[in-house]
Amino acid sequence: MHLLRYTFGLVALAGCMGAAATPAAAQLRPEIEAFIGEMVNRHGFNQAELESILVMAQFQPAILNAISQPATSRPWYEFRTLFVNPRRIAGGVAFWNSHAETLERARREFGIPEEIITAVIGVETLYGAQAGKHRVLDALTTLAFDYPKRAQFFRGELEQYLLLGKDQNADVLNIKGSYAGAIGIPQFMPSSYRRYAVDYDNDGRIDLSGSTTDAIGSVANYLKSHGWQMGEAVAVPALVNSENYRAALFTGNWPTYTVADLRTLGIASRVSMPGNPHATLIELENNGGNEYWLGFNNFFVITRYNRSVNYAMSVLELAKEIYAARNSSLR
């Protein structure tokens, strides 16, 4: 869905809604009316306009089911096979070959390796083939008002989505995305779309659904903005020889232990690491017992895209497989 091809607001809705707009607004729940009032006061939206839009949002029980059972909650040995497999590896090589100049440019300008950008897009949407089938308005409204666990977060994303529609003069009723409301080839949430998406093909608009070039530049900008350090390691295998290791397990925060600190907890890198970088312990559940890795700053940066350890490791491993497969094919 190309965001910029549509018109946001009552002008677009009037033809199909006519006189029904005012009585329909009375059907809105009090908490949605309160949200509309906040949008009017904070951003200068027209109240009738927002009522006409939000009355069209449809509650989707399937979205609540999906977010309550995310794929990332599976054990690593199951999750890995979903995203690090021959189809995604071959697709990644083809994607890299098709967009080699853009990926190289992004590496030069943002410092993000081609294989990492490719792997993020491969994990997110199978290189753009699976960008989502839910109306973003339905997804965000359902989660903002019927998912108490993260209602505040999704109300913020609904706010950003409506602002995105206003910014880009977009038809917010028809944009499709994931069950969580993520949009386009790289699956940016609306707040990330507004903050980190870039017009990388220089055509005067940002289009993460229709422009692979914009998607590549935006992923690179996102990772760079969150602190990616060019040339630094992401994660390396680790050895655990103590019962004290749990204190160092990844909790979603930036690593606070140094490699030297981890040694005192019985945790060591299986490969030689220069210096004394900060690291966190990653625990992955396998059939024959858990495996352990040390995750560094760049691993933490990948988790800013998705907080799941499984997600970040799948990006890293898919990137390695794509890199190896492509190099092999070029020999």
Q: What is the pLDDT of residues 312-330, one digit of tens each?
A: 999 999 999 999 999 998 8
Q: State pLDDT tens for residues 26-71.
A: 589 999 999 999 999 999 999 999 999 999 999 999 999 999 988 8
Residue 215 lies in a domain: no
Dump the DSSP string for 35-79.
HHHHHHHHH---HHHHHHHHTT----HHHHHHHHS-GGGS-HHHH
Alpha-carbon distance of 226 to 308, in angstroms, equals 16
Alpha-carbon distance of 75 to 284, in angstroms, equals 8
> Is residue 279 classed as helix, strand or coil in its secondary structure?
strand
For 165, residues 6+ apart whose C-beta sits below 8 A from its C-beta are 8, 171, 172
Q: Please state the rounded mean pLDDT for residues 99-110.
A: 98
Q: Are 202 and 248 found together in one domain?
A: no
Q: Please state the rounded mean pLDDT for residues 163-192.
A: 96
Does residue 131 surpass a pLDDT of 50?
Answer: yes
Please say whether the beta carbons of 3 and 174 come within 8 A: no
Q: Please state the rounded mean pLDDT for residues 185-192.
A: 98
Task: List the beta strands (DSSP E) in the chain.
Answer: 134-135, 176-177, 235-240, 257-258, 267-269, 278-284, 291-295
Does residue 8 surpass a pLDDT of 50?
Answer: no
Specify the pLDDT at position 14: 35
Q: State pLDDT tens for residues 255-297.
A: 999 999 999 999 999 998 889 999 999 999 998 889 999 999 9
Least reliable range by pLDDT among 14-23, 55-64, 146-155: 14-23
Alpha-carbon distance of 108 to 220, in angstroms, equals 10
Q: Please state the rounded mean pLDDT for residues 86-91.
A: 98
Question: Which residues form the domain of 199?
Answer: 3-64+131-206
Q: Are 201 and 140 found together in one domain?
A: yes
Q: Please state the rounded mean pLDDT for residues 228-248.
A: 94
Q: Are 142 and 259 found together in one domain?
A: no
Specify the pLDDT at position 273: 87
Residue 81 lies in a domain: no
CATH number for the domain that contains residue 137: 1.10.8.350
Number of domains, the chain: 2
**pLDDT exceeding 90 applies to what percent of the chain?**
86
Which among 224, 164, 137, 230 is positioned nearest to 3, based on CA atoms? 164
Residue 89 lies in a domain: no
Residue 51 lies in a domain: yes
Residue 25 lies in a domain: yes
Residues in a beta bridge with 267: 240
Q: Are 275 and 174 found together in one domain?
A: no
Compute CA distances 277 → 30, 92, 207, 255, 304, whole Å: 51, 30, 38, 9, 19
Please say whether the beta carbons of 221 and 120 come within 8 A: no
Q: What is the pTM of this model?
A: 0.91
Q: Are 47 and 150 found together in one domain?
A: yes
State the catalytic residues. Answer: 124
Specify the pLDDT at position 59: 95
Specify the pLDDT at position 71: 87
Confidence of residue 18 (pLDDT cuts 50, 70, 90): very low
Q: Are 141 and 263 found together in one domain?
A: no
Residue 52 lies in a domain: yes
**pLDDT exceeding 70 applies to what percent of the chain?**
92
Q: Are 57 and 152 found together in one domain?
A: yes
Residue 42 lies in a domain: yes
Specify the pLDDT at position 243: 86
Sign of CA dihedral 223, 224, 225, 229: positive
- The residue whose two tokens read 């602002």 is 163
Confidence of residue 3 (pLDDT cuts 50, 70, 90): very low
The torsion of the CA quartet 50, 183, 71, 287, rounded to 10 degrees, works out to -160
* Separation of first and last alpha carbons in the chain: 39
**Mean pLDDT of the residues in the chain:** 92
> Is residue 183 classed as helix, strand or coil in its secondary structure?
strand
Please say whether the beta carbons of 63 and 134 come within 8 A: yes
Q: Are 156 and 251 found together in one domain?
A: no
Among residues 188, 206, 224, the one where a domain terminates is 206
- The residue whose two tokens read 């199978």 is 126
Least reliable range by pLDDT among 21-25, 168-172, 249-253, 318-322: 21-25
Confidence of residue 151 (pLDDT cuts 50, 70, 90): very high
Compute CA distances 194 → 97, 140, 173, whole Å: 29, 16, 18
Specify the pLDDT at position 106: 98
Q: Are 142 and 288 found together in one domain?
A: no
Q: Please state the rounded mean pLDDT for residues 107-122.
A: 98
> Is residue 234 classed as helix, strand or coil in its secondary structure?
coil
Q: Are 150 and 245 found together in one domain?
A: no
More confidently predicted of 116 and 18: 116
Q: Are 139 and 188 found together in one domain?
A: yes
One-letter identity of residue 305: Y
CA atoms within 13 A on the CB side of 186: 31
Residue 307 lies in a domain: no
Compute CA distances 98 → 56, 95, 199, 210, 323, whole Å: 40, 5, 19, 16, 15
Q: Are 138 and 190 found together in one domain?
A: yes
Alpha-carbon distance of 279 to 256, in angstroms, equals 7
